[in-house]
Amino acid sequence: MELKKIEKAFEMILDGIGEDKNREGLVDTPKRVAQSYEEFFSGVNKDPIEPLLKYFSVENNDLVMERNIDFYSMCEHHFLPFFGTIDIAYIPNGKIVGFGDIIKSIEILTKRPQIQERLGSELADVIYRTLNCQGVMVAIRAKHLCMTMRGVKKENSQIITTAYRGVFEDDAARRIEILTLLK
């Protein structure tokens, strides 16, 4: 990541909105913004499959669920944050991964310019393909600051998206069972 380019770009933004980049409170702001962006976008050019390559064999293929995983991401349309929780359920096919490893994959996918719909789809694909599991479901609930700070300005709106792969795609009863367990 080229922090100096980000600093220069933010100096131009300050100038563009009519602010003085040399004003006391803004002197180091471009540098702080660049450092923040380094963290916000640390998932760019990282592979979300990597954390899932260390797996454990299991004899039973019982449902595995991880709920209420907090996340923050940056909307690629307005570069404003969206944040919320992610729920994941999957049916193994002889192997599982650590819960922390799933969170590491989420961190990689959320730490890049993103949209919620693609985030869920990418996460479902990564888990489904890497674990070769029977099925996976991802549900995301998020608030988008691009909807609360600007535009429609609806403070309490929440976006919910789901992504299904494998056995969950064609089995409505299984999807309902998982959604019921997630409540």
Q: What is the CATH classification number for the domain harbouring 16?
A: 1.10.286.10
Specify whether 24 is located in the same domain as 64: no
pLDDT computed for residue 152 by the predictor: 87
- Over residues 34-74, the pLDDT tens digits come to 999 999 999 999 999 999 999 999 999 999 999 999 999 99
pLDDT computed for residue 103 by the predictor: 98
Mean pLDDT value across the chain: 95
Question: Is 144 labeled as ligand-binding?
Answer: no
Q: Can you tell me the distance from the alpha carbon of 178 to that of 183, in angstroms, rounded to the nearest whole number?
A: 9
- Over residues 106-149, the pLDDT tens digits come to 999 999 999 999 999 999 999 999 999 999 999 999 999 998 99
The model's pTM = 0.93
Question: Is 133 labeled as ligand-binding?
Answer: no
**pLDDT exceeding 90 applies to what percent of the chain?**
86
Specify whether 63 is located in the same domain as 17: no
Specify whether 82 is located in the same domain as 155: yes
Question: Is 77 labeled as ligand-binding?
Answer: no
Specify whether 29 is located in the same domain as 80: no
pLDDT computed for residue 41 by the predictor: 98
Identify how many contiguous H helices and E strands the chain contains and give both numbers.
7, 7
Residue ranges making up the domain that contains 152: 50-182
Are residues 161 and 120 in contact, defined by beta-carbon separation less than 8 angstroms?
A: yes
Which of 96, 98, 142 is closest to 119 using CA atoms? 142
Which of 155, 145, 138, 139 is closest to 82 using CA atoms? 145
